[in-house]
Structure 1
Amino acid sequence: MTGPAVVMDDVAQAVDDIIARIGKSLVVGLPLGLGKPVELVNALYARATQDSSLQLKILTALSLEKPTGGSAIESAFLKPFVGRVFGGVPQLDVIADLRANRLPANVQVCEFFFRPGAFMDNAHAQQHYISSNYTHAARDVFNHGCNVVAQMVCQRETPEGTRYSLSCNPDTPPELVDMLRASGRPHVVVGVVNQNLPFMFNDAEVGPEAFHIVVDHARYTTPLFSNPKLGVTTPDYLIGLHASTLIKDGGTLQLGIGALGDAIVYAAQLRHARNADYLRVLGDCGILANSGELIKDLGGTEPFAQGLYGATEMFVDGYLHLLRSGILKRRVHDFWALQQLVNEGRCDPDHVTPQVLDDLASLGVRVIRGADFKVLQHHGLFNDETGYDEGHIIAPDGTRVIANVADPHARQVMADQCLGQRLRNGIVLHGGFFLGPLDFYEGLRRMPEDQARQICMTGVSKINQLDRNPRLYRQQRVHARFMNTGIMATLSGAVCSDGLDDLRVVSGVGGQYNFVAMAHELPTGRSILMVRAVRDKGGKAGPSSNIVFNYGHTTIPRHLRDIVITEYGIADLRSRTDAEVIKALLNIADSRFQDGLMAAAKHAGKLEPGYQIPDAFRHNLPERLERQLAGFKRQQLFPDFPFGTDLKDEEVMLGKVLKAVKKRADTTPKWQLAWAALRPGASNIPPSARPYLDWLALAHPRTLQDRVARALVVQALKDHP
């Protein structure tokens, strides 16, 4: 930018200014997830609906919507929860109209990542989806002609003036802005201030010159969209337990959102704080017996003495729990040789000695350039009293020596006067964007500044690949465990995570491919894809296997196969033959489907005819998992909501009731349902059930369908006292 932003207090005025600068063909790039400036987007969309000559194209990802029920009963159930948790949160009008299929002809919405399952049957969304790796998102948005970049920000006043934070989304917008500047394309960068955003420092902090327009008024400091916690099931916990054993102390961790991420964090905390219980669980569940050698080679079961460092595109609240537990504590530094010395134990971060100069020279670092000096001083290797000028180090007493640690005189001056006492400004987590429950945002807002500065929200190009600085990132990301979720795994080791074989998109590639490919490039890195072995959506079809012989859509190709985990175990697929891969995956498949999968592999000539699955893996059934954890749950381990929930107790209970209702409705003949609702005495409602029927608007049913629903709810309430 050529100067500080124009500050205004109304989004309608900002729309006027944008059109005056750019014209009536607006291609707007928005951050994914939380960072969308909803009021500005709504004002742009309103202008487009009023003026058909204005062409509006919105490019973004992960558009957030308040939860709604799939039926009148579910909507009634959710109403108090939505009002309590999402009250005052602004909603995107353009997404509501997209969902209702009423977008005007002059408006397009293109996303590169959907909220999972949100737009499966929406033609506009499916047709305008952009399939893109996260690291290519800025490029692809630019290539669509983007000329407006807008996002939600927060600000604070400092002695140096007003400073802004990109907070939850420094992931792709800065890269996109750099492309626009370099291209010379006319464009506008807009920030809308919401002071409920946590102020994040480091790469997320910018000055007023980063924007053309800043909209700042208290009316835009609205509640943040939250992602409430879902319950963690027994299969989720078993996957989390297996995954936790592959985490190397002193290593690097990448996690995703949802129940599986929570399960991993809970298991890691159990490993760290209640190690005897953890080992007992691993033993009783057969994890040590089935995967002991792999755990010994790749991970561990001991508490985290050195701790972990996080390198993750999505900063989820689980990392905050790991930080508070003393697990997320390994700090990294932005100079490759210094980081290597720390990794090798040759530089104690808490006690810097002159030996570090000899060790730097032994790694080939001799001449210290100005940019390197700045980084090394930032991290405390050189004290604040030392200066740098045109290839020379200026010692605190004014002595000027060549900036070369291989020069004996210069090295002696540096050793005597210039070194700091300890390293500083280390980073425990690099993240691209964040989204989570309300207490996560509150925890970030209340975090002391010195601790908040240990978290670096930054560009996705810095996190999801090695390209920007391979030598540094290889040193920072030692023993990396990149943990992501898949929908299905084929017997070839390919994984489907984002779409179906009928070309419909479930979510998006996001950064999954990036992390898998990076794991293969890092000497000690591993990709871990977690797939629930079985899914059961109810209905007459019953359960089906997520380990399949083959599938017509692939997110991660077979040649990048690595580690796959289901609730039944760990399959190490790296460097294995096709037959070995098939055998490993059969071992972690649900036993109800193992024979069919094995027969298909034999028919294709990929397994020897006489092969049989070992007896140890022939009892992979959900009821066995429930038995394995039942005793531990009675000891208050493995709760439904390990990190709390925004749901009240009665909402949790009624949610379980409605699941039971749906399952029974899907599996019971309609005539039986009707008879249950119409039989004599069906209208005699127990007093204890009446408040719940009032809640669900079923107290006075008008239709046969309502009467069936009431009968099912009453029965389910009896079954779930």
Structure 2
Amino acid sequence: MTITLHQIEAAVDEVLARIDGPIVLGMPLGIGKPNPFVNRLYQRVKADPSRQLTIVTALSLEVPSGHSELEQHFLGPLVERVFQDYPDLDYVKDLRGPGLPPNIEVREFFLKTGDYLTNELAQQHYISTNYTFVARDMLGQGLNVIAQAVAERVVDGQRQISLSSNPDVIQEVVERFAEADKPLLTVGVVNRQMPFMLGGALVEPAFFDLLCDDPAGTHTLFAPPNAKVSTTDYAIGLHASSLVADGGTLQIGIGSLGDAIAQALILRDQHGDEYRRILAAICPQGLQGRELSPFRQGLYGCSEMFVNGFLQLMQAGIVRREVFADPTLQTLINEGRLDPRQLPPNVLELLAEEGRISLPPTPEDREWLQRFGILDGEGRVGPRLTGGVCMTGGFFIGPGDFYERLRTMADGERARIDMTRIDFINQLYGKDAEETHLKRVQRVKARFMNTTMKVTLLGAAASDALESGAVVSGVGGQYNFVAMAHALPDARSVLMLRATHDTPDGPVSNIVWSYGHTTIPRHLRDIVITEYGVADLRGQNDGEIVKRLIAIADSRFQPELVAAAKSHGKLDAAWQLPESWTHNTPQALDAQLHPFTQAGLLPGFPFGTDLTADELKIVAALRRLKKATQHPVELVAMALRSLWENKEAPPAYLQRLGLDEAQGFKALFIKKLFAGNL
């Protein structure tokens, strides 16, 4: 029986009373954590050395604070405006600062990207696992409590509960514990800022043992502002968008690359001539084999993460291909024998021929027919199928206007988004043969797009950790989607990476001969994209794969890649690098895309930004300054230029950065450098 509590303190009391020994608390990743409840439990256990607490979760988010004094001054007003009353997690603060108390441990299966590279405690307690194995592994970790932030509403006097942003693993966890006959205390904490999502996110109030409806549980959701889309990002996104088949299935991720792909798809659909000109500019080998047409059928989004890019594609009318939760219906639609928007008069005969129903329909048949709108309450054939969805996601995170749009959607529009379980999304095999078949017929012409950090010349990819073993983020669902792309007959896996990255010693290539860590093994190699092009690796021999990857590498590093491949016998000693491949430089790429940026087709923030125009100018100057500090020669040149030009920054900018009353050589020097970089 569900107990409703109206104070977080009372919910914590209940947990401490019910669990005699060590508490092993599971929580969803991202914004689904009930932060106020977790913080109170954490502080109670921290103050009582006789109790033990282990937290099993992922992606614990923290409000940005800035590393330098300049960044801290700049971020203060922005954080106050964007994050408002979002409460940071106390265990994150301790983990980053003085450390966790000896009676508390935190184990995460996905880390906030790059934030814990030098944090030994986080590195030692990281759990490397596929997203689809998280529920299984929580059982193995000895979980005895699981807590989640939920949305609530009352309709016709009935209380309704939605798992909102995170139906990803909790239902599977509860099922596994029931099957194993192991006790599990389930805690739901209402946060009225959580969008009320439908579909697989709906649960009965009785799903939770404890439901806490304390106003203190409601707070602003963590809302990272949209990242700026660079020229490099746009080039990658444009290449990726030209591989997406109309009538197909799409997965993309969060961040600037996801936004670049979404914007490129919108350009392709709404500005076809300009899109082809842009693509031709960055495809010197021609556009053969690229998808260039607008979206007549539309796309179905199927992604572990429902991100703002998908919402933008829905609003643009591109993600609109509806799929239905029945393999017979979906197969008929795929074959063009059934139009879901206009049912034929003989639809019952068609379904009977397929063996889906009997004629006349049985009571069970009638219930099924009414579920999909094929028959109305009077037994007449309806105008169109109902219950279709065009977006399936396991969790979401995005900027503030993304959440607000979800909160204010009409139910009919929101019902087209099915937030559901990760064991349905991230793998093909289901609980039975029918579910497995359903996934296969829904996910036609799928393009599963993921980012990676390094690709070897033989096609292996490293996406989650460095060769030292230091974890950057986590595997998440990447391996599953890559494997799924090989299991579906018309799907492709697309791994995207920037050709280089900057280090204090200068740029280095992200395409390398070998690397001491692998996320995706070489036998699952498929399509790799950099800003310089597309390498189709599927089914190719090693020598050809080496050539195709060198063709999309930065030209500054191509000679050493050729030499490495030859020294290991993977390239013929007489092979020469074609001259047409030797123009892969940032300068050439910028020249190719600059006219289209100037024309407003490739904006830095295609879907808006939380930053003001002045803040964008300050950020740009700070980025240039930060980059220069990592390269002494560049810093000296910048300093000389700033002193020579003797520019002055607007007083409001200086005040924002705490430089308005700068004194001493260092502060005055930084002030001058900042002004010179505006």
Cα distance change of structure 1 residues 259 and 670 upon mapping to structure 2, 3 Å threshold: closer
The aligned residue for residue 151 of structure 1 is 148
The one-letter code of the counterpart of 1:564 is V
* In structure 2, C-alpha distance between the alignment counterparts of 1:13 and 1:504, rounded to whole Å: 40
Distance change >3 Å, CA 380–CA 713, structure 1 → 2: same
Q: Compare CA radii of gyration and give the structure with the larger one.
A: 1
- Match of residue 318 from structure 2: 327
2:637 is equivalent to residue 642 of structure 1: no
Equivalences for residues 287-302 of structure 1 within 5 A: 290=285, 292-295=287-290, 300-302=291-293
Distance 1:599 1:291 in 2: 28
Alignment of 1:404-553 (within 5 A): 419-468=381-430, 469-537=435-503, 539=504, 541-553=505-517
Give the Cα separation in 1 of the matches to 2:635 and 2:420.
58
Alpha-carbon shift at residue 74 of structure 1 (Å): 1.4
Contact 1:346 1:356 (C-alpha < 8 Å) held by counterparts: no
Where does residue 309 of structure 2 map in the other structure?
318
The structure-2 alpha-carbon separation of the partners of 1:670 and 1:265, relative to structure 1 and needing over 3 Å to count, comes to closer
For the pair 1:555 / 2:519, whether they are aligned, the reply is yes
Question: In structure 2, which of residues 54, 61, 71 is the aligned counterpart of residue 64 of structure 1?
Answer: 61
CA distance in 1, matches of 2:540, 2:149: 47
TM-superposed CA distance for 1:375, in Å, is 4.7
Give the letter aligned to residue 7 of structure 2.
D
**CA displacement at 1:709 relative to structure 2:** 2.0
Distance in structure 2 (CA, Å) of the matches to 1:675 and 1:263: 34
Give 1:190's match in structure 2, choosing from 183, 187, 190.
187
**What residue number does 2:536 align with?**
572
TM-score (norm 1): 0.90
Alignment of 1:599-610 (within 5 A): 599-610=563-574
Q: Distance in 2 between matches of 1:369 and 1:582?
A: 60
Amino acid in structure 1 at the alignment position of 2:605: F
Per the TM alignment, residue 663 of structure 1 is displaced from its structure 2 partner at its CA by 2.6
Once residues 101 and 606 of structure 1 are traced to their aligned partners in structure 2, the CA distance between those partners, rounded to angstroms, is 50
TM superposition shift of 1:382 = 3.9
The answer for the alignment partner of 1:271 in structure 2 is: 268
Deviation per CA, 1:594-641, whole angstroms, max 9, x where unpaired? Answer: 110011001100011111232222100011111111111221111111
State the TM-score, normalizing by the size of structure 2.
0.95
Cα distance in 2 for partners of 1:420, 1:650 equals 55
Query: 1:575 & 1:671 partners in 2: Cα distance?
Result: 47
Please state whether the residue corresponding to 1:425 is helix, strand or coil: coil
Q: Which segment drifts farther, 37-46 or 9-18?
A: 9-18
Amino acid at match of 1:494: A
The code of the aligned residue for 1:156 comes to R
The answer on whether the counterparts of 2:649 and 2:674 sit within 8 Å (CA) in structure 1 is no
Task: Classify the secondary structure of the residue corresponding to 1:706.
Answer: helix
Offset of residue 19 of structure 1: 1.7
AA aligned opposite 2:578: P
In structure 2, what is the equivalent of residue 695 of structure 1?
656
The CA RMSD over aligned residues, in Å, is: 2.2
2:322 maps to amino acid: R
* CA–CA separation in structure 2 for the residues paired with 1:260 and 1:676: 35
In structure 2, the partner of 1:391 is: none
Change (3 A) 1:249 1:90: same
Q: 1:298-447 to 2 correspondence within 5 Å?
A: 300-353=291-344, 355-360=346-351, 363=354, 365=356, 374-385=367-378, 419-447=381-409
Q: CA shift at 1:24, angstroms? A: 3.6
Decide whether the 8 Å contact of 1:167 with 1:204 is kept in 2. Answer: yes
Letter in 2 for 1:443: R
- Given that 2:74 and 2:656 are in contact with CA atoms closer than 8 Å, whether structure 1 keeps it comes out as yes
**Cα distance in 2 for residues equivalent to 1:496 and 1:710:** 40
2:250 counterpart of 1:259: no
Deviation, structure 1 residue 705: 3.4
- Identity across the alignment (%): 47
Q: Which amino acid aligns with 1:20?
A: A
Aligned-partner SS, 1:156: strand
Q: Distance in 1 between matches of 2:529 and 2:647?
A: 46
Q: What SS is found at the alignment partner of 2:630? A: helix
Shift of 1:243: 0.5
SS in structure 2 opposite 1:294? coil
SS in 2 for 1:380: coil
- 3-state SS of paired residue (1:222): coil
Preserved CA contact (<8 Å) 2:148 2:188: yes
Letter matched to residue 185 of structure 1: K
Give, in whole Å, the separation in 1 of the partners of 2:625 and 2:638: 14
Offset, 1:182: 2.1
CA shift at 1:49, angstroms? 1.1
3-state SS of the aligned residue for 2:557? helix
Contact preservation (8 Å) 1:291, 1:570 = no
What is the CA deviation profile of residues 117-163 of structure 1, one whole-angstrom value per residue up to 9, with x for unaligned ones? 01111111000000010000111112101111101001110126100
Please tell me the residue identity of whatever aligns with 1:526: R
Say which of 233, 240, 246 aligns to 1:236.
233
SS in 1 for 2:486: helix
Verify the 8 A CA contact 1:335 1:375 in the aligned structure 2. no
Matched residue SS, 2:279: helix
Letter in structure 1 aligned against 2:576: Q
The 1:11/1:545 distance shift into structure 2, 3 A limit, reads same
Aligned positions of 1:696-711 closer than 5 A:
696-711=657-672
Residues 665 and 673 of structure 1 are in contact (CA less than 8 Å); yes or no, is this contact kept in structure 2?
no
CA distance in 2, matches of 1:634, 1:674: 26
Q: Decide which of 564, 585, 591 is 2:555's aligned counterpart.
A: 591
Between stretches 96-105 and 694-703, larger displacement belongs to 694-703
State the alpha-carbon separation in 2 of the partners of residues 634 and 103 from structure 1: 50
Is the alpha carbon distance of 1:698 and 1:676 closer, same or farther for their aligned partners in structure 2, counting shifts above 3 Å?
A: farther
Following TM superposition, by how much is the alpha carbon of 1:371 offset from its aligned partner in structure 2, in angstroms? 7.5
The answer to whether the aligner puts 1:714 opposite 2:678 as a matched pair is no
SS at the partner of 2:289? helix
**Which amino acid in the other structure matches residue 384 of structure 2?**
R
Structure 1's 15 and 362: CA in aligned 2 closer, same or farther, altered over 3 A? Answer: same
Matched, 1:620 2:592: no
Q: Among 114, 118, 128, which residue is 2:115 paired with? A: 118
Match of 1:629 in 2: 593
Q: Is the 8 A contact 1:334 1:375 kept in 2?
A: no
Q: Which runs of 5+ in 1 are unaligned?
A: 386-395, 397-416
